[in-house]
Amino acid sequence: QVQLVESGGGLVQVGGSLRLSCVASTRAFSRYSLGWFRQAPRKEREFVAASRWTGSKDYADSVKGRFTISRDNDKKTVYLQMNNLKPEDTAVYYCALRPGSFGSDYLRPPSYDYWGQGTQVTVSS
């Protein structure tokens, strides 16, 4: 069992920045691929960003150029740096892990084995 704990969410004004963190309780962190998803009220959970253990990254079109996913294998932590935040970024953000890598299935929540409880991000206009 892998436990994930997100933090760093909060209230920010339009154009502001936040950095989300997700700490994983696994020694094999460096061999896991990682994803960030978000879910707004009344909406489906949507893909935000992914980082394969091999190093490649993918982003949703809506966040490209604004969000950056990164990882610190020593701290067993994945980050989501969010810049130039917009009201439509308001959501609960979840981190997710899976062993190894993935192909096109990085977009789908079922591709991930472990999930955190989420952290709220609210962008005020």
Q: Model confidence over 40-61: pLDDT tens digits?
A: 999 999 999 999 888 899 999 9
User: Residue 15 and residue 57: Cα distance in Å, rounded?
Assistant: 24
Question: Which pLDDT score, from 0 to 100, does residue 1 have?
Answer: 82
> 44-52 long-range contacts, Cβ below 8 Å, gap at least 24?
45/94, 45/109, 47/106, 47/107, 47/108, 48/80, 48/93, 49/80, 50/102, 50/106, 51/78, 52/101, 52/102, 52/106
Residue 27: predicted pLDDT: 86
48, 67 Cβ separation under 8 angstroms: yes
**pLDDT under 50 in the chain at which residues?**
none
